[in-house]
Amino acid sequence: PKTDIVFLKVHKSASSTVMNVLFRFGDTHNLTFAFPVGGGNQLSYPHHFLATFVKGFSPSSPQRFNILCHHMRFLQPEVQKVVSSSAVYFSILRNPVQLMESSFTYYKGTSAFSHAHSLEEFLSQPYHYYNPADSDSHYARNLMTFDFGFNPDAEVSAERVQLILKAIEASFDLLLISEYFDESMVLLKEVLCWDLDSVISFPLNIRDNSTKSTLSDTIMEKIKDWNRLDWEIYTHFNRTFWERIDRDIGRERMQREVKALRERQAELARTCLQGMGSVAPKDIKDSSLRPLQHGSAKILGYNLNQGLDKETERMCRRLVTPELQYSSALYKKQF
């Protein structure tokens, strides 16, 4: 199994669920994490990543960490200072249309979104609300482009798009697609040589459907235009994702693997979860399992079954512990 990993945690792309997979694997195998100085869950985001953002890093005795997965703005030369040269680099992408709808709800308090009553209103005259100079403007435009380290306000030319795609391909071994989450986990398992249970997860940091809005075709087109760089990145890597599956696994075997993954996940849900699914924040009985509520989104969580034996309880708890709580527990364990 590969134990040196860099995960670029792209915002609002099922990345908290992926992070739980990495937390559990690192926790079980006593691996070291590159934590932000002073704890927390961001490596001085939205600044470009620097090795000095990592607790325990010192240029004179470069300690290598196994897993780098907290929010950062990618800058590979600096990342290379804190992880082994053999580390596997991966990230996850999401359709920019859904990404923007989610961001608008989740980051409602940011400069660009706070004065627009709806996403429609924002998109009808974005420059009325959006100022690239605002320190939080990146949440409102080409958020994936920004997280990968590029300029979200750059002019979109065929040449620039090619440069960005080539740069991402040169840095990353694997790009997952959140719309095909189960297929992504099978691919990840393959690349990291992990077993099935290591990549099983329950969806974390997800919104209650009541705070999701359906988008008209016109709005979708406007979102694509406004986030043109993100759209180019997404469509390119969505295509190469399937090419890779065809090349390395094949559709038939992929179907079998996804089926096995879903069956195992359902089995774990029966074992671990009351009612087998997620519940509203107010219905989470154990406050240590309550996820952070942010913006105007309602973030769901889980209740564990009672009366589990100690070992099963520990496994189940790891599966449903929200990112911030799990991160701080691992931080305490490591330091």
pLDDT tens by residue, 142-177: 999 999 999 999 999 999 999 999 999 999 999 999
106 confidence band (pLDDT: 50, 70, 90): very high
Strand pairing report for 174-177 and 67-68:
unpaired
Domain holding 301, by residue range, is: 5-334
Instruction: Give the 3-state secondary structure of 278-302.
Output: CECHHHCCCHHHCCCCCCCCCECEC
DSSP string, 65-113: BSEE-SB-B--HHHHTTTB-TTPEEEEEE--HHHHHHHHHHHTTTSHHH
Q: State how far the Cα of 88 lies from the Cα of 256, in Å rounded to an integer.
A: 25
212 to 99, 121, 202: CA distances (angstroms) = 11, 16, 20
pLDDT at 279: 93
| pLDDT digits 0-9 by tens, 237-258 | 999 999 999 999 999 999 999 9
Residues 88 and 191: beta-carbon distance below 8 Å:
yes
**Residue 191 pLDDT greater than 90, yes or no:** yes
Banded pLDDT at 206 (limits 50, 70, 90): confident
> Does residue 201 surpass a pLDDT of 90?
yes
CATH of the domain at 209: 3.40.50
Tokens describing residue 270: 């029966």
Please, what's the largest Cα pairwise distance for the chain? 60
Across the range 41-61, mean pLDDT stands at: 95
Confidence of residue 335 (pLDDT cuts 50, 70, 90): very high
The pLDDT tens digits of the residues spanning 299-327 come to: 899 999 999 999 999 999 999 999 999 99
In the chain, how many domains are there? 1
Task: Work out the number of other CB atoms within 10 angstroms of the CB of residue 179.
Answer: 16
pLDDT of residue 236: 98
User: Which single residue is written with the structure tokens 């409102």?
Assistant: 140
